[in-house]
Amino acid sequence: MSFDNSGKKPIDESRIELGIAMAESTLDKILKEVEGLVESTSADVGGEVEDGCFVRRVSSDRLTVFLDIHPPSEGGNPVESIDIMRSLRDEGIENILEENIISAVNTCNREQISVHRVVAAQGIPPKPSHEGSIRFLFPTDKKRAFVKDVSGNVDYKDRGAILSVVPGEELAYLDPPAEGEPGRDVYGRAIPVSKPRKINLIPGKGVESFDGRVFKATIQGQPVLKGHELSIREVYVVPGDVDMSTGNVDFSGTVIVKGTVREGFSVRCDGDIEIKGAVESGTVTAAGDGQISAVIGNKSYVDVGGDLSVRFIQGGEVIVGRDLSVGAYVLHSSVISGGQVFVEGKKGVIGGHLIALKKIDLSSAGAVMGTGTVLEVGTSYHLKRELSLLEEKISHTQEAVDRIYSLLQSTLPIYKGSKKIPEEVAARLRLIQRRKEELTSFLRIWKDRQMAIRNQIADSEDIVPVVAVRNKVYPGVEIKIRGSLKLIDKEIRYVSFFRDPDKGCIVAGAYL
């Protein structure tokens, strides 16, 4: 402690000590008041006689009633189980567990302790619904990637074979949904249970199911799942080339050609197509997916409704409903894709015109000599083409239906009243009526597809199309995106092209 020259403490330190003394005095005063209040409260409480009591709680799901039972203070009346049960019944609570209550009350009164979380009433919980499920024993995703070896090299010839099953082979198991049972809460009110989602699998052509749960193949072919229908597409195998020895191939199922489609010959099928050789200035049309070793020749024409994978394309016209995967290169060809085009090989695309709705992704575009190459995205050519063909088909069919209707309207009145229709005429009329019903059914299907295509074309406006080049774009290449054109005048690397809607032009960015 320090002092000034007169031997007295500094004024600041004196003030601090005085403040501390005042604070201690105030704390002592407050402490005495609190102690007095506690003693007074304890005396009041200790002097009051309390009877035994209970507290009821209902769980949030209303399935359980819990009790906390407390003993009386000295001189108080014990809690009675009959009073508890009467109180619960007065509140409308049902399914009271009397033995639990009696046992807990006896424990509380005998040992003079509180008993907590006594289950006093129990509702009936609902039995939840069982969601159905379907387990397929074959891959339902038909997309197949190029196979790579341990070194990462691509074997462009190996895409696996088209899946085929034999009669008696199990295809799917269906575990049907089961509706649950409602429960009841402690007040006797029903607790509803949600219904399971409906699940359905329909056996189509070549498939049978006796119990609705196990589905088996009845014929050899390719299993196909379309919506809720499981069917078998028959597979037609051409052991060699499609040429003079076979003639043109036209089949309702899937076709496998182990050789080449030679110049001037054609293959058409309603299923998938696999050509282990090439299409050499031939014609191939398939409604499903396609797998072709190569397309060669300016007269080649390939039209596949689904996805197509091909080792290389060298000349000709290729139209794909969805995605096109090319293993090596595309050379001087016309290609239209309703999805995206992916060219994996280093040569990329040299010459020709590629059109894709969503994206073109390739290693390089064009050539050093300035070969004319057009890459176009954001255009629904395939949909507009399909819509045009479909509308033409609808128009012709509607005309036929109208003619049949007019014929029936003019013929039937002749035989009104007592005049009997000759059996020959009646047979012809029945045949005409059946044809009318068939055509009307086709019209409904085609008009549904017509509406779907129009919706797809409208939805495609929301797609952001892109041309992405992993290596080089050479001078002379044209980039087209929804009406905008960009002519490449110098070599560019690792680039993506987009259309800037605000500027109304094509801009370049990093490869994506």
Burial degree of 119 (CB within 10 A; 0-12, 13-18, 19+): middle
CB atoms inside a 10 Å sphere around CB 121: 26
Is the distance from CB of 338 to CB of 457 less than 8 angstroms? no
More confident position, 158 or 68: 68
Task: Compute the distance between CA of residue 408 and CA of residue 348 in angstroms, rounded to an integer.
Answer: 60
Q: Are 479 and 375 in contact (CB under 8 A)?
A: yes
Phi, psi of 342 (to 5 degrees): -125, 120
Nearest to 171 by CA among 206, 141, 127, 197: 206
The phi-psi region of residue 267 (left if phi > 0; otherwise alpha if psi is between -120 and 50; otherwise beta) is: beta
CB 266: neighbour CB atoms within 10 A? Answer: 16
In whole angstroms, give the CA distance from residue 261 to residue 70: 93
Class of domain 131-183+192-233: mainly beta
**What is the residue whose two structure tokens read 């995967």?**
325
Instruction: Label residue 152 by pLDDT band (50, 70, 90).
Output: low
Of the chain, the percentage scoring pLDDT greater than 70 comes to 84
Q: 111: which DSSP letter?
A: H
Confirm if 304 and 321 have CB atoms less than 8 A apart. Answer: yes
Average pLDDT over residues 315-329: 93
Is it the case that residue 158 has pLDDT exceeding 50?
Answer: no
- Over residues 96-116, the mean pLDDT reads 91
Q: What is the mean pLDDT of residues 194-216?
A: 88
Q: Which residue has the higher pLDDT, 34 or 376?
A: 376
pLDDT of residue 28: 58
Closest residue by Cα to residue 258 from 306, 228, 293: 293
Q: Give me the pLDDT at residue 281, please.
A: 94
Say yes or no to pLDDT of 334 above 90.
yes
CA distance linking residue 266 with residue 186, whole number of Å: 75
Q: What is the pLDDT of residues 48-96, one digit of tens each?
A: 678 888 898 999 889 999 999 999 888 888 989 898 999 999 989 988 9
Q: What is the pLDDT of residue 26?
A: 59
The pLDDT-based confidence of 449 (bands split at 50, 70, 90) is confident
For the segment 381-406, the average pLDDT, to the nearest whole number, is 83
Least confident segment among 115-129, 256-270, 438-452 = 438-452
Q: What is the mean pLDDT of residues 380-387?
A: 76
DSSP label at residue 242: B
Beta strands 466-473 and 359-365 are parallel
Averaged pLDDT of the chain = 83
pLDDT score for 138: 82
Q: How far is CA 275 from CA 49, 129, 290, in A?
A: 98, 48, 8
Chain centroid, CA 95 distance in Å: 46
Q: What is the identity of the amino acid at 174? A: L
Q: How much is the pLDDT for 38?
A: 46
Phi, psi of 465 (to 5 degrees): -75, 150
Q: What angle do CA 504, 508, 511 make, to 5 degrees?
A: 140
Q: Tell me which residue of 269, 232, 262 sits closest to 247, measured CA to CA.
A: 262
**481 contacts 467 by C-beta, under 8 angstroms:** yes
Give per-residue burial for 159-174: e unless 16+ CB within 10 Å, then b.
beebbbbeeeeebbeb
